[in-house]
Chain A
Amino acid sequence: MGSKGTERADEAETTGHEWDGIRELNKPLPKWWLYTFYACVVWAVGYWAVYPAWPLVSSYTKGWLGYSQRETVAGELDQAKADKAAFRQQIAASDLDAVKADPELLNFALAGGEAAFGDNCAPCHGRGAQGAFGYPNLRDDSWLWGGSLEAIHQTITHGIRADDPDTHASQMPAFGRMGLLDATQVNDVTEFVMSLSGRAGDNEAAERGAKIFADNCSPCHGKDGKGNQAVGAPDLTDQLWLYGGDKPTIAETIINARNGVMPAWAGRLDPETIKELAIYVHSLGGGQ
């Protein structure tokens, strides 16, 4: 006590440790700091008792509070479900156009639809619904089975060539493989199909192909090749090709046929989610 002047090394207390003339000053920690450390130790022991802590052979110590993060998450999910229930009931009770007309319901449906799309649809159609080879782009204005809100809802619910009594069912014959058309005929009709979208090459072949098209293809694709959404026959006159629009690919399609499938989502997803999905897909820019 009462030391005067600034503490200098030669008069300050040291711990008694000395190495090569370098001495360690004794700079004590405040006592309360030490007590804080002890308090933390006690706190930690209390934690063992109150919370799950020690692994056992096939289980673990549960703690007095019986706290479980899994149960907390489950509870939070239940709570989220309960919070959404009011909206979902409204969606269940309203028809699609009514949901679309109500801004609040529409927002809810778009958000729910986006999430459901990411979980269920994105693996084939892509995260941005941009499609891929054989999987239609849902943002464009070309629809195999119809792009109205009702038609989209119908397609999602019952699927395409799926295990569902109301599914979209149609079958394109494999004209080449089944021997319905020979190689020359396939070539001719391919030339004609190319000409439908303004890409005429061999005009003579195309003229021959027109006859073959009228006999074999027009029942589904229409006399002018504009397609038919009732049977899922694509428009052959536009610029969009699900499997590719170059000549070898079109020929391959005629020879082997294309019959894409999509599962029926009724039963996999609840009706409200399917409604949300339909509204979301319809909002992506291509809805009609």
Chain B
Amino acid sequence: MLMTEAPEHVERAADRHQGPVEAAPGIVRSDTPAVAGVNRSLYAERVKIYPKEAHGRFRTAKWLVMAVTLGIYYLVPWLRWDRGLYLPDQAVLIDLPSRRFYFFFIEIWPQEFYYVTGLLVLAALALFLVTSLAGRVWCGYTCPQTVWTDLMIAVERFWQGDRNARLRLDKTPRSFETLWRKAVTHLTWLAIAIATGGAWVFYFADAPTLAHQLVTFEAPTAAYLFLGIFTATTYVLGGLAREQVCTYMCPWPRIQGAMFDRDSLLISYRLWRGEPRGPHKSGQSWEGRGDCIDCRQCVAVCPAGIDIRDGPQLECIQCALCIDACDEIMDKIGRPRGLVAYDTVRNLDAAGTHTVPINLLRPRVILYAAAMALVGVVMLIALLLRPDLDVNVLHDRNPIYVKLSDGGLRNGYTIKLLNKLYQPRSFSIGVTGLPAASLSVVGHDRESNPVVTVPPDQLESLRLYVTLDQSAVAALPDPATEFSFVVTDLADQSAVEHRATFQGPAR
């Protein structure tokens, strides 16, 4: 690739710099301009970026991350998980109509959304942690925008060739070759976008059923709507907008500066090693000059179109492709790798006079890690202690109590039984701590301990009255008396108590 730069570029580069077109023997100087910092009119045309393919450790890592993340995204809805007779068998399912979220062995009801809150807190802390350790790792490797953009660029490269070939195609925008190559590129993008939107809706319904419905045009309108929305966003953001999403739309580049410190590993150009930069002739000594031969390969591979040698920049997503590009060149010219590398500001400031060891155990790192551990432990405990029966009791507020003809009192309650097991269960309801109380449930015959059957994984809401006759009221030390409802599972006699208050007129 290095040898095939378009001749006109070479000439232009030669004109401008009035130096050799080769950066070093056998290495052509790239003419890629850095997009950032270009002066623009008030409304600027986007300067199109033609990222060149990089080869190396980080490129390989990025391919792997892409395979894993996209694999998870596209395949997870198809995993099955047996939950018995009454419930869906999809491992990960957001069941909006039934208000349930299933994640393998975990099931979350809407009122347990704090688990999701906990996950989001964990995710935010993890983001802070990796950012303070190694910069925008999230942006560079795992952010969906980066992953899909990377995929779309790979598709573009497959159909249109690498950077120079694409530049050549754009010189003749109306040629048949340009048109058909662009057409298939866009069609492939669209196919990927549709698959992306399709995978999204599978998380919200039984995937095999919905897939069948989708192709036979029997799926709900909402499924097509969201498929359309995610197709459009994937195609537009991943295929067309690319780095502009990171530069103009995403707030994270603005926030990230608060997460770095002088010990964070950031992708940096080692100025002290590279400067003064300049083309290097065969046999020329490396004494008194920098290792940077100004070949601009780091710019050519950059998907954000910037020049890493200008220092840390907002547009840089720290994808590490410039490291791969530069290392390849360093190998070729026989200089040590790492002219562009993950490095700390502290070590950069040492300018090679000595090595500042990487300091992982900084207060902020410890703080983030401790906070993550705390949230994780709290969530784990909450998950392990998650009851399979929840009882909620709401005392009537209007009226608070009802006086009866014999001078007795009646209180009304709404009681909710949340059966979180996957089979129907029968419960008997009683009270303790309120002598001589009689219970009645609306819709049930009067019985001393009403029995209620709750369907599997469902909530049953009951209206319940507690009545005390006059002598029982008179025996109360205070008309406002605390007592407990006792809900007993008839199958295993396990009981859950829930505190409530019996109210009466002040004495």
Does A190 sit within 8 A of B, measured CB to CB? no
Whole-angstrom distance from the CB of A96 to the nearest CB of chain B?
14
In the bound complex, residues from chain A placing their C-beta under 8 Å from that of B36 are: 7
Whole-angstrom distance from the CB of B140 to the nearest CB of chain A?
21
Do A239 and B403 touch across chains, with their CB atoms under 8 A apart?
Answer: yes
Does A75 sit within 8 A of B, measured CB to CB? no
The closest CB in chain A to the CB of B440 belongs to: A285
Number of interface residues of B (CB under 8 A): 40
Do A140 and B43 touch across chains, with their CB atoms under 8 A apart?
Answer: no
Does A78 sit within 8 A of B, measured CB to CB? no
Do A29 and B405 touch across chains, with their CB atoms under 8 A apart?
Answer: no
Q: C-beta contact mask, A94-127 vs B, less than 8 Å → 1, else 0?
A: 0000001001001100100000000000000011
Number of interface residues of A (CB under 8 A): 40
Q: C-beta contact mask, A131-151 vs B, less than 8 Å → 1, else 0?
A: 000000101111000000000
Restricting to B380-427, which residues have a CB under 8 Å from any CB of A? 396-399, 402-407, 410, 412
Q: Which of A30-38, A83-91, A164-172 contacts B (4 or more CB under 8 A)?
A: A30-38
Does A28 sit within 8 A of B, measured CB to CB? yes
Do A106 and B443 touch across chains, with their CB atoms under 8 A apart?
Answer: yes
Point out which of B16, B39, B241 has the most chain A C-beta atoms below 10 A from its C-beta.
B39
Do A139 and B399 touch across chains, with their CB atoms under 8 A apart?
Answer: yes
In the bound complex, residues from chain B placing their C-beta under 8 Å from that of A31 are: 43-46
Do A140 and B404 touch across chains, with their CB atoms under 8 A apart?
Answer: yes
Bound-state Cα–Cα, A230 to B404, Å: 21
Bound-state Cα–Cα, A283 to B46, Å: 70
In the bound complex, residues from chain B placing their C-beta under 8 Å from that of A6 are: 37, 310-311, 313
Q: In the complex, which of the residues A2, A12, A139, A240 contacts B405, with contact meaning CB atoms closer than 8 Å?
A: A240
Do B44 and A29 touch across chains, with their CB atoms under 8 A apart?
Answer: yes
Do B405 and A1 touch across chains, with their CB atoms under 8 A apart?
Answer: no
Bound-state Cα–Cα, A107 to B443, Å: 9
In the bound complex, residues from chain A placing their C-beta under 8 Å from that of B3 are: none
Do B404 and A141 touch across chains, with their CB atoms under 8 A apart?
Answer: yes
In the bound complex, residues from chain A placing their C-beta under 8 Å from that of B442 are: 110, 283
In the bound complex, residues from chain B placing their C-beta under 8 Å from that of A142 are: 404-405
Whole-angstrom distance from the CB of B92 to the nearest CB of chain A?
33
Do A3 and B37 touch across chains, with their CB atoms under 8 A apart?
Answer: yes
Does A267 sit within 8 A of B, measured CB to CB? no
Whole-angstrom distance from the CB of B183 to the nearest CB of chain A?
22
The closest CB in chain A to the CB of B32 belongs to: A2
The closest CB in chain A to the CB of B442 belongs to: A283
Bound-state Cα–Cα, A1 to B40, Å: 9
Do B405 and A103 touch across chains, with their CB atoms under 8 A apart?
Answer: no
Whole-angstrom distance from the CB of A26 to the nearest CB of chain B?
7
Bound-state Cα–Cα, A5 to B311, Å: 8
Whole-angstrom distance from the CB of A282 to the nearest CB of chain B?
9
In the bound complex, residues from chain B placing their C-beta under 8 Å from that of A13 are: 39-40
Restricting to B23-40, which residues have a CB under 8 Å from any CB of A? 33-34, 36-40
Do A283 and B405 touch across chains, with their CB atoms under 8 A apart?
Answer: no
Bound-state Cα–Cα, A103 to B442, Å: 10
Given A6-B313, A284-B412, 14 other A-B contacts at CB below 8 A?
A5-B37, A6-B37, A6-B311, A7-B36, A31-B45, A32-B244, A34-B43, A107-B443, A126-B398, A128-B398, A238-B406, A283-B463, A285-B465, A285-B467
The interface of chain A, by Cβ under 8 A from chain B, is 1-7, 12-13, 15, 26, 28-34, 100, 103, 106-107, 110, 126-128, 130, 137, 139-142, 235, 238-240, 283-286
7 example contacts (A-B, Cβ-Cβ < 8 A) are as follows A5-B310, A7-B37, A33-B43, A139-B412, A140-B403, A142-B404, A284-B412
